Amino acid sequence: DAGVIQSPRHEVTEMGQEVTLRCKPISGHDYLFWYRQTMMRGLELLIYFNNNVPIDDSGMPEDRFSAKMPNASFSTLKIQPSEPRDSAVYFCASSFTGGTEAFFGQGTRLTVV
Amino acid sequence: KQEVTQIPAALSVPEGENLVLNCSFTDSAIYNLQWFRQDPGKGLTSLLLIQSSQREQTSGRLNASLDKSSGRSTLYIAASQPGDSATYLCAPGVFGNEKLTFGTGTRLTIIP
């Protein structure tokens, strides 16, 4: 397996624009996580899914953020409208049930100007 | 709410030395703890996973220990090499859900 795949790797957008980040988890993994990393706050969990169902979205900062997982091999994180304070690196990770290792993608570096 | 602290925040040691990185967590009801490394501008790479029933886990020059009752884990790196330079993060998993809470990390620099 190629690991967790995220796209795009880099995204620069203007304030107010819609941004969509994409993630393909490792095949067979039933948990998918979205994290955000900033210098000030470190790694924060935004939302996670189990079998495509959102389990905990308490980390989603505002209604401007939404995430979907339409099937076991694809998830999106959308920000609409984007703001400069959303600039961060967004990571997707996946794992099996039962406290197994979580594997991370390479991240999407988002810059909102 | 789980809180994770990693000390020191940064560490520089000469090549060849053995070193220990520390991780402490407030909620001892964990079912595992994972150590990761992160290179600048890269994603996280899993190094070791310790289940709550284990006290140690080893992989090559790395050895991680876990003391659940005291809320502590250590990562021991033997015979350090310049390629070990990275940020190291620990993340306990709390029983009942699968999410990981991360510490702020230790930035390690190995001096050739």
Q: What is the pLDDT of residue B2?
A: 87
The residue ranking higher by pLDDT, A108 or B98, is A108
The residue ranking higher by pLDDT, B42 or B108, is B108
Size of interface A-B (CB pairs under 8 A): 49
How high does pLDDT run on average in chain A?
94
Q: What is the pLDDT of residue A98?
A: 66
Using a CB-CB cut-off of 8 Å, the residues of chain B touching A97 are: 98
Provide the edge-to-edge strand list for the sheet that holds B4-7. Answer: B4-7, B19-25, B72-77, B62-67, B56-59
Q: What is the pLDDT of residue B5?
A: 96
Would an 8 Å CB–CB cutoff place A95 in contact with chain B?
Answer: yes
pLDDT reading at B7 higher than 80: yes
Residues 89-108 of B with CB under 8 A from A: 89, 91, 93, 97-105
Q: What is the pLDDT of residue B95?
A: 67
The residue ranking higher by pLDDT, B56 or B93, is B56
Would an 8 Å CB–CB cutoff place A107 in contact with chain B?
Answer: yes
DSSP category for residue A39: T
User: Tell me: the pLDDT tens digits for B62-91?
Assistant: 999 999 999 999 999 999 999 999 999 999
Q: What is the pLDDT of residue A43?
A: 92
Q: What is the mean pLDDT of residues B47-64?
A: 94
B51-84 burial by CB neighbour count: b if 16+ within 10 A, else e?
A: ebeeeebeeeebbbbbebeebbbbbebeebeeeb
Q: Do A104 and B36 touch (CB under 8 A)?
A: yes
Residues of chain A with pLDDT under 50: none
Chain A nearest-CA distance from B112, in A, is 27
DSSP category for residue A8: -
